[in-house]
Amino acid sequence: MRLQFLGAARTVTGSQYLLQLPGANILIDCGLYQGRDQEPYTPHHRFDFDPAKLDAVLLTHAHIDHSGLIPRLCRLGFRGDIFATSATTDLCAVMLLDSAHIQEEDAQWDMRKWRRGQQNTPPPGPLYNAEDVEQTMTQFVPVQYDEEVRVADGVSVRWVDAGHILGAASLEIWVNEDGVQRKLVFSGDIGDRGRPILRDPTLIESADFVVMESTYGNRNHPPIEHTSEQLADAIKRTVREKGQVLVPSFAVGRTQELLYRLDRLIASGDLPELPVFVDSPLASRATRVFEQHHECYDADSLRLLAQGDDPLSFPSLRFTRSVEESKRLNALAEPAVIISASGMCTAGRIRHHLHHRLEKGNHLVLFVGYQARGTLGRILQDGVKNVKLFGRRHRVRARIESVQGLSAHADQPMLLEWVQAIKGPRTVFVTHGEPESAFTFAKLVEAETGSPVCVPSLREHVDLLDEAALAEVHSHTQADIARHQAEERRRSETRHDRA
């Protein structure tokens, strides 16, 4: 019973876990690493296993950092079932196709650079194309929340609501071997309590082993009521300066929450009825998927729908679909909000809007979600003064701000509440967090629950039934936490001395 961590290990992207059992090989998530320039991850990395020998893929949710390599997996020989909730399946149909188009566009751009002599060797081409996605979607098996499904001999799984995005789930996996049943839980990405549109995360009662995210394992979100106030204040200041608000936003989840909040702010009079453009074909299609899955909505959203009020629509909202419509936004003179993908500015139309507005001081770039290291979003958020876009150097004069409370991820208290509800784990593996967050949260979980906690490294594997192996991974984590804390103290002392 061997578990290998092939992604989201001491970073927040590229989720991928291989569970090897005597009678089956099962992959939990198969995400694309987002942030091109960081080794040991690369967009064209090879799988550490033979895709043809996998028996099943279990998908927690549709975000590309969890699903984006599935077409690559199928292209290289995987022919088994891909199990996911019904809403996740419908979202993947649009998101993976969008990802394929980006792969193909990037490959064309790389080929042009090679032909101009800017690369030594020919580029490898796209990871997958639209035809690969079409084949991949035939392998999806939609399941419902709280439905227990047999996915392989001796292995059954239940998807429970994770509250993160539409269709997102945590996985309860029961493995029966030699008459002994053991239970693994994979958190996927956990949502916070009280978020608009979706229900709160379902708490899980027990597990032998837990693999959980730690994106915000060292931080608390501001009170939810402050988030809408901060959003309204940022927009109103930009309107007074006759500027436009650029919101890099994930097309799924974040965009729909923004629309919900803007709808409520405009309805209450806290915001003027200014034009709001969703400039993302993917976000437009994803919003339609949301409207087809009201079974995922919370009580407040269902109440609004019953009253005839669509919480994802208002009169000044416009969806731009064609490239021509998107280009016309660059000629806008009046204040407006432009919501565009991608959320970390790694691709998509947002980069064109930044290209046209970064050098103008009356505009605002408003980040509403986590920005991973190595992404353009993180670089801007960190205060860089110059960035290169489309071959041209831009001086950053636009205001750069962040609204933290819009994250679809649980913060530290909610993550701790989630894991404390699980009784009896022999080991908790903390993943999907950058080192500071993962180590901080791991130390807290061990102190509060008494369960051994490990923060695995990339490609690390452990035999879950080998107590000595578990103890060794735990020991490595303790040493890494001590080293990390010592380095942080040295950095702090250096900053203090310089000050």
pLDDT digits (tens, 9 = 90+) for 302-356: 999 999 999 999 999 999 989 999 999 999 999 999 999 888 998 889 999 999 9
Q: State residue 460's pLDDT score.
A: 95
Domain that holds residue 171: 2-219+408-495
User: Using CA atoms, how far apart are residues 61 and 133, in angstroms rounded to an integer?
Assistant: 16
Q: What average pLDDT score do residues 15-25 get?
A: 96
332 and 435 in a common domain: no
Residue 44 has pLDDT above 70, yes or no: no
308 and 215 in a common domain: no
Q: What average pLDDT score do residues 88-97 get?
A: 97
Q: State residue 352's pLDDT score.
A: 94
425, 208 Cβ separation under 8 angstroms: yes
State the pairing for strand pair 81-85/56-58: parallel
Residue 430 belongs to a domain with what CATH number?
A: 3.60.15.10
Q: For a pLDDT cut of 70, what percent of the chain falls above it?
A: 97
- Of the three residues 384, 406, 428, the one that is the final residue of a domain is 406
208 and 165 in a common domain: yes
Residue 387 DSSP symbol: E
Q: State residue 119's pLDDT score.
A: 72
251 and 126 in a common domain: no
Q: State residue 105's pLDDT score.
A: 84
460 and 380 in a common domain: no
User: Using CA atoms, how far apart are residues 6 and 462, in angstroms rounded to an integer?
Assistant: 12
- Of the three residues 406, 441, 474, the one that is the final residue of a domain is 406
192 and 85 in a common domain: yes
Q: What average pLDDT score do residues 76-83 get?
A: 97
Residue 40 has pLDDT above 50, yes or no: no
User: Using CA atoms, how far apart are residues 81 and 29, in angstroms rounded to an integer?
Assistant: 13
Q: State residue 36's pLDDT score.
A: 52
pLDDT digits (tens, 9 = 90+) for 418-467: 999 999 899 999 999 999 999 999 999 999 999 999 999 999 999 999 99
Least confident of 47-61, 136-150, 203-217, 478-492: 478-492
Least confident of 43-52, 88-97, 183-192: 43-52
The total domain count for the chain is 2
Which residues lie closer than 8 Å to 336 by C-beta, 6 or more apart? 244, 245, 274, 275, 276, 277, 329
- Of the three residues 389, 406, 423, the one that is the final residue of a domain is 406
Q: State residue 26's pLDDT score.
A: 98
Partners of residue 82 on adjacent β-strands: 57, 140
401 and 294 in a common domain: yes
pLDDT band at 41 (very low <50, low <70, confident <90, very high): very low
202 closest CA partner among 266, 316, 296, 79: 296
Residue 15 has pLDDT above 50, yes or no: yes
Q: State residue 373's pLDDT score.
A: 80
Residue 498 has pLDDT above 50, yes or no: yes
Residue 217 has pLDDT above 70, yes or no: yes
Helix or strand or coil: residue 18? strand
Residue 43 has pLDDT above 60, yes or no: no
Quote the distance between the C-alpha of residue 213 and its chain's center. Answer: 11
Residue 289 belongs to a domain with what CATH number?
A: 3.40.50.10890
243 and 200 in a common domain: no
Q: State residue 169's pLDDT score.
A: 98
Amino acid present at 55: D
152 and 31 in a common domain: yes
Mean pLDDT for the chain overall: 92
128 and 196 in a common domain: yes
319 and 430 in a common domain: no
124 and 263 in a common domain: no
pLDDT digits (tens, 9 = 90+) for 363-400: 999 999 878 788 899 999 999 999 999 889 999 999 99
Q: State residue 35's pLDDT score.
A: 62
Measured in degrees and rounded to the nearest 5, phi and psi for residue 125 equal: 90, 175
Residue 39 has pLDDT above 70, yes or no: no
User: Using CA atoms, how far apart are residues 278 and 214, in angstroms rounded to an integer?
Assistant: 30
